[in-house]
Amino acid sequence: MGFRTLDDMELSGKVVLTRVDINVPVENGRVTDTTRIDRIVPTVRDLRAAGARVVLLAHFGRPKGKVVPEMSLKQVVPSLSDALGVEVGFADGNYGQAVSGMEDGDVLLFENVRFNPGEESDDEGFARRLAGLGDVYCNDAFSAAHRAHATTHALARMLPACAGRSMEAELKALEAALGSPRPPVAAVVGGAKVSSKLDLLANLVTKVQHLIIGGGMANTFLAAQGVDVQKSLCEHDLLDTARDIAARAEQAGCAILLPRDVVVAQEFRANPETRTVKAEEVPEGWMILDAGPDSVMHIRTVLDGCATLVWNGPLGAFEMEPFDRATTAAAQHAAKLTRDGALVSVAGGGDTVAALNHAGVAEDFTYISTAGGAFLEWMEGKELPGVAALSA
- Known binding residues for ATP: 197, 319, 349-352
DSSP class of 349: S
Active-site choice (4, 45, 128, 193): 193
Torsions phi, psi of 64, nearest 5?
Answer: 60, 45
The span from the CA of 303 to the CA of 368, in Å, is 18
The DSSP secondary-structure symbol of 324 reads T
Report in angstroms the alpha-carbon separations of 352 from 135, 207, 267, 279: 38, 20, 24, 24
Catalytic status, residue 373: yes
Longest dimension (CA), the chain: 73
Angle in degrees, CA 250, 256, 261, rounded to 5? 140
Residue 164 is among the residues annotated as catalytic for this protein: no
Selecting among 14, 36, 48, 165, the annotated active-site residue is 36
Among the options 51, 65, 105, 373, which is catalytic?
373
Q: Are 108 and 99 in contact (CB under 8 A)?
A: yes
* Residue 316 known to be catalytic: no
Q: Characterize 212-224 residue by residue with b for buried, 16 or more Cβ atoms within 10 angstroms of its Cβ, and e for exposed.
A: bbbbbbbbbbbbb
Choose among 251, 332, 266: nearest CA to 296: 332
Cis previous bond, 78, omega within 30: no
DSSP structural state of residue 5? B
Secondary element (H or E) of residue 356: helix 350-359
Q: Answer for the pair 170, 142: CB distance below 8 angstroms, yes or no.
A: yes
Q: Which of 51, 65, 105, 350 is catalytic?
A: 350
Mind giving me the DSSP string for 27-58?
Answer: ETTEES--HHHHHHHHHHHHHHHTT-EEEEE-
Enzyme catalytic residues: 36, 193, 350, 373
